[in-house]
Amino acid sequence: MKICVLVKEVPDAAVEKRIDPATGRMDRSGERALNPYDTHAIEAAMQIRESGVADVEEIVAVTMGPETAVRTLHRAVSLGADRSVHLTDPALAGSDVAATGYALATVLQRESPDLVLLGQQSDDGACYTIGAVVAEHLRMPSLTQVIEMDIAQGPDGLVLTCERQAEYGYDTVEVDLPAVISVGDAINEPRYPSLKAIMGAKKKPLETLDVAAAGLDPARVGEAGSQVVCGEFKAPPSKQGGEIIEDEDTDATVERIVAWFEERKLIA
């Protein structure tokens, strides 16, 4: 089987995120990193390979993003992907969730994966939704926010048993492959790449595609191809900043907390 893992370059968690007031888009300069949730998706792919239940011939990392996203693909390969595909084109900038999902799905169609994995949310921008958009274009079943996944050979092929927390508690859902599954961070503990894997990552095959090479309809991507126009940014209703105590002397800190509680009659 072939597993494709969708990955995304995001601002490093330590860097403050901001909107560029000139363009109304996310300011994507500054330190970049592989979206932490996506590392769990790569690990999930590795665990399927290592389970021996299915013969995983290939794990392919796929991203859409600027040139700098190459480093994110190197990272994904160092964590276990065999090769990677980079969809990059200035014409893609400003794509909304629907346009991004269409573009990624079109790249995935070329790969015809048996399973598409991705992190359930990204540190920046859209949340929880890209998996469902991609699945719709691929006409595959989809589940998001999965925290437990088992693969088994069923009578008609491979079957995934997935667990996730929904509105009324934990749901267990079985799904035949192919499928698109987004995972939460409770699903596994991603391994650290070995030095050898880090050094070797740049030598693994990396395919770069632009809009034309990927066979995308230019009218369906970028700002023009997006169905939502975002802007008119404004500040939220401001909340009075709270009091902050840096704990240096714990006895004194505790005394201040108790006094704060008493002022508000919180100790019954």
> Which residue number, 205 or 218, has a Cβ lying nearer to other proteins?
218
Q: 50-78: buried (b, 16+ CB within 10 Å) or exposed (e) per residue? A: eeeebebeebbbbbbbeeebbebbbbbbb
> Which residue number, 3 or 179, has a Cβ lying nearer to other proteins?
179
> Which residue number, 52 or 169, has a Cβ lying nearer to other proteins?
169
For residues 63 and 192, the answer to whether their CB atoms sit within 8 Å is no
Indicate the SS3 state at residue 89: coil
Q: Nearest approach, Cβ of 122 to other proteins (angstroms)? A: 12
Q: Nearest approach, Cβ of 268 to other proteins (angstroms)? A: 5
Q: Nearest approach, Cβ of 163 to other proteins (angstroms)? A: 9
Phi, psi of 24 (to 5 degrees): 75, 10
125 exposure class (CB count in 10 Å sphere: 0-12, 13-18, 19+) = middle
- The amino acid that residue 19 corresponds to is I
Q: Nearest approach, Cβ of 153 to other proteins (angstroms)? A: 17
Q: Nearest approach, Cβ of 199 to other proteins (angstroms)? A: 32
Tokens in use for 236?
A: 């939220």
End-to-end CA distance of the chain: 62
> Which residue number, 142 or 208, has a Cβ lying nearer to other proteins?
142
> Which residue number, 19 or 212, has a Cβ lying nearer to other proteins?
19
Indicate the SS3 state at residue 76: helix
